[in-house]
């Protein structure tokens, strides 16, 4: 076994850390099965590198151990013997059930590294303890009614743009009226058309016919200490949270308003949350006193916990809790298992926790799929007691199920998109991808939507992609060279278009496309890179957190001439701009193109999604869905139809035991 593992390491199948860990285990293991245990240790470490929290021996595909071809895989399987592995692992000195401080932990048929088993246990324990109802103030129901009353002024503005044959469908959509409802739609249309007042129009809507899931989501979070609001782009998660926080503040004692913190996993996501929550709070129909007690400044999770430079520990932990009453975590799908464990462990016992995110997006780069595991059993139905409470708070009749758990009672799924409507190709394609339906994907691409196009990837279309990117990036470069360069406007213009890649390397990856776009812009005289690493106009993306500078993984800046020297300008979380010498930057890379993973938490008016013409293991349904939903107005996909459909059919499964722990 040792020679086989050494061979895999020499062939770059195993990483150095995988090989060193199995060597460590073989030295520590005193039993007669040391080589056998070392093989499983190498596999656990290898799978961790792919995002799996554990190896489920019972579900192990013996035809692709270490992702090897079936013949090589079968050789390893014959030595590692999955059919008898559990019994042998129980006898090992380096394996326990978690009650002893061993490097490996075996729970049932799942084999973990101890650290990740501990993290999973912490997350499950923290969530289970917080999945309990809290007393709801009598003022909450009228507050929810007021906050979620449809804006009739907006309806009247929209109404004038609707054709007569659209109005019935649009009116139902606006009020969230079910198609089989008893509300007289013709009367509603007539009332809006004749400019009746808001009270008259609203009186015509039978509330029992409606079901606004945003209102249900707010009620869910108001009445539970732990809650999750999951939905795709444009489903109104931020708007819902702003109204929820308004209800919490307005129903609190003015002498002791709750301490609220907003966080996101990256600086870029925190900046975006700051912008969106600020707009949402400003539009709330509440007093200035309530607005002033709702925070609009978000930070990163690392900053909230108090990251210590060059150390893995944080200032806040189980022994030194955070000082807050309500925590909102945006883009929760990007939070890996160990970080979620540290965050939850650092919270005071009384704190409410709200996770926001899209359960269908790519999971975190590091191990775990915490949001997906939490939402695993959620289907929009609640236990009878929970459904009754939420119905009382919202006025809606909700579906019940006896199989709902305490955790699924904490989850609300938003499905109605306010950005992508029936005439949106991006929305239709995203929905088809999410369902894993190839016929629906084909239908969306063939229908002739004006905002999406699939380009069969070949030499000509590759050049077309580079040309589109070159044209799109001209705007920020023209702003950079203007006499009065507005740094914010320039950074905003750069964000109007982005090239997203499935791969990091090669002509279809980030490195190849960055070079191709840079060469194209230089060929048009828009850039002058020369032999210099830093030149005016070069966009850079931070790839390593620097808490001292306030720069985080994913932050983007642009090199410009400032005060007779080259500086890199960034927009910070508080909306200010900061100019830094290139020599001060932490690790970074050119950012004309970025991976789909790095784009999470961002949106671009025009998105170019480029995937290789032949399938790759990294291409999955979640990756395609995430890339597609970054587009706000226009999406161009460059790949082959075969490669796209293979990716849509490939749903990622990350092995962990969190869903099972939460269901117990």
At residue 412, φ and ψ (nearest 5 deg) are -125, 130
User: CA-to-CA distance for 132 and 225, rounded, in angstroms?
Assistant: 6
Centroid of chain to Cα 283: 25
User: CA-to-CA distance for 487 and 562, rounded, in angstroms?
Assistant: 10
Q: Which residue has the tokens 């032949």?
A: 614
Q: Which residue has the tokens 């079901």?
A: 211
- Which residues are CB-contacts of 583 (< 8 A; sequence separation ≥ 6)? none
Of 372, 367, 371, the closest CA to residue 116 belongs to 367
CA distances from 274 to 87, 170, 259, 279, 293 (A): 52, 31, 17, 9, 15
Altogether, the residues listed in the chain come to a count of 664
User: CA-to-CA distance for 211 and 588, rounded, in angstroms?
Assistant: 46
- Which residues are CB-contacts of 483 (< 8 A; sequence separation ≥ 6)? none
- Which residues are CB-contacts of 647 (< 8 A; sequence separation ≥ 6)? 502, 611, 615, 619, 620, 621, 623, 624
554 is in an annotated binding site: no
User: CA-to-CA distance for 344 and 507, rounded, in angstroms?
Assistant: 42
- DSSP assigned state of 70: H
User: CA-to-CA distance for 582 and 542, rounded, in angstroms?
Assistant: 12
**Farthest-apart Cα atoms in the chain, separation:** 87
User: CA-to-CA distance for 232 and 626, rounded, in angstroms?
Assistant: 9
CA distances from 356 to 29, 144, 307, 368 (A): 43, 19, 23, 17
Q: Which pair of tokens denotes residue 167? A: 């109005």
Residues 607/635, Cβ–Cβ less than 8 Å: yes
Residues 382/409, Cβ–Cβ less than 8 Å: yes
- DSSP assigned state of 583: G
User: CA-to-CA distance for 155 and 151, rounded, in angstroms?
Assistant: 6
Of 351, 137, 356, the closest CA to residue 260 belongs to 351
DSSP secondary structure string for all residues of 384-405: HHHHHHHHHHHS----B-TT--
DSSP count for the chain of H helices, then E strands: 28, 20
49 is in an annotated binding site: no
237 is in an annotated binding site: yes
User: CA-to-CA distance for 368 and 301, rounded, in angstroms?
Assistant: 17
530 is in an annotated binding site: no
- Which residues are CB-contacts of 552 (< 8 A; sequence separation ≥ 6)? 266, 267, 268, 270, 300, 302, 542, 545, 546
525 is in an annotated binding site: no
235 is in an annotated binding site: yes
Residues 451/425, Cβ–Cβ less than 8 Å: yes
Find the helix or strand (DSSP H, E) in which 498 lies.
Answer: strand 497-501
Of 617, 624, 613, the closest CA to residue 50 belongs to 617
CA distances from 566 to 479, 538, 549, 577, 579 (A): 16, 11, 18, 15, 9
Residues 547/302, Cβ–Cβ less than 8 Å: yes
Q: Is the dihedral of CA 654, 655, 660, 661 positive or negative?
A: negative
CA distances from 49 to 35, 60, 66, 334, 643 (A): 21, 16, 11, 16, 24
Binding-site annotation, residues for ATP: 231-238
Binding-site annotation, residues: 231-238
């Amino acid at each position: 076994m040792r020679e086989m593992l050494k061979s895999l390491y020499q062939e770059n199948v195993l990483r150095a850390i995988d090989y060193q860990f199995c060597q460590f285990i073989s030295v520590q293991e005193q039993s007669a099965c040391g080589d056998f245990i070392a093989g499983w240790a190498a596999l656990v470490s290898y799978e961790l590198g792919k995002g799996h929290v554990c190896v489920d021996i019972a579900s192990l595909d013996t035809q692709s151990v270490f992702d090897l071809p079936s013949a090589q895989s079968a050789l390893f399987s014959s030595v590692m013997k999955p059919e008898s592995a559990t019994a042998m692992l129980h006898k090992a000195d380096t394996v326990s059930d978690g009650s002893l401080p061993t490097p490996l932990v075996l729970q049932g048929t799942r084999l973990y590294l101890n650290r990740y088993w501990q993290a999973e246990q912490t997350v499950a324990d923290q969530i289970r303890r917080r999945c309990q109802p809290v007393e709801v103030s009598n003022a909450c129901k009228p507050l929810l009614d007021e906050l979620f009353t449809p804006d009739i002024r907006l309806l009247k503005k929209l109404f004038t743009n609707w054709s007569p044959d659209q109005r019935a469908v649009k009116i139902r959509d606006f009020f969230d009226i079910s198609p089989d409802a008893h509300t007289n739609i013709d009367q509603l249309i007539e009332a809006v058309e004749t400019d009746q007042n808001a009270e008259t129009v609203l009186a015509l809507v039978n509330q029992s016919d409606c079901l606004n899931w945003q209102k249900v989501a707010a009620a869910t979070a108001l009445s539970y200490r732990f809650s999750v609001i999951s939905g795709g782009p444009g489903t109104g998660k931020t708007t819902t949270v702003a109204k929820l926080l308004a209800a919490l503040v307005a129903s609190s004692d003015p002498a002791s308003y709750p301490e609220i913190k907003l966080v996101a996993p990256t600086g870029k996501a925190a900046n975006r949350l700051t912008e969106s929550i600020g707009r949402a709070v400003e539009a709330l129909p509440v007093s200035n006193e309530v607005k002033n007690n709702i925070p609009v400044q978000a930070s990163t999770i690392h900053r909230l916990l108090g990251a210590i430079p060059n150390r893995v520990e944080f200032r806040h932990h189980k022994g030194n809790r955070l000082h807050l009453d309500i925590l909102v975590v945006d883009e929760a799908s990007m939070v890996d298992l160990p970080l979620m464990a540290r965050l939850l462990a650092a919270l005071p016992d009384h704190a409410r926790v709200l996770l926001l995110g899209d359960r269908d997006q790519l999971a975190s780069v590091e191990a775990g799929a915490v949001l997906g595991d939490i939402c695993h059993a959620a289907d929009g139905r609640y236990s009878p007691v929970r459904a009754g409470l939420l119905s009382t708070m919202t006025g809606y009749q909700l579906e019940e199920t006896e199989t709902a758990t305490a955790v699924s009672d904490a989850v609300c799924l938003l499905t109605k998109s306010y950005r992508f409507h029936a005439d949106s190709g991006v929305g239709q394609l995203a929905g088809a991808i999410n369902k894993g339906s190839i016929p629906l994907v084909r239908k969306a691409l063939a229908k002739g939507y004006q905002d999406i196009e699939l380009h069969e990837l070949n030499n000509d279309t590759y050049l077309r992609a580079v040309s589109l990117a070159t044209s799109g990036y001209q705007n920020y470069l023209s702003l950079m060279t203007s006499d009065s360069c507005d740094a914010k406007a320039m950074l905003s213009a750069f964000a109007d278009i982005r090239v997203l890649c499935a791969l990091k390397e090669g002509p279809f990856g980030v490195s190849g496309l960055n070079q191709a776009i840079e060469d194209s812009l230089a060929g048009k005289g828009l850039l002058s890179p020369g032999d210099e690493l830093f030149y005016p106009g070069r966009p850079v993306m931070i790839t390593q957190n620097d808490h001292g500078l306030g720069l985080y993984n994913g932050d983007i800046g642009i090199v410009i001439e400032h005060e007779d020297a080259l500086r890199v300008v960034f927009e910070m979380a508080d909306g200010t701009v900061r100019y830094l010498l290139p020599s001060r930057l932490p690790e970074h890379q050119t950012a004309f193109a970025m991976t789909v993973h790095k784009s999470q938490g961002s949106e671009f008016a025009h998105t170019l999604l480029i995937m290789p013409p032949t399938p790759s293991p990294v291409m999955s349904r979640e990756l395609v869905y995430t890339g597609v939903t970054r587009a706000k107005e226009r999406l161009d996909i460059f790949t082959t139809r075969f490669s796209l459909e293979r990716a849509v059919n490939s749903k990622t499964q990350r092995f962990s035991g969190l869903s099972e722990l939460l269901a117990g």
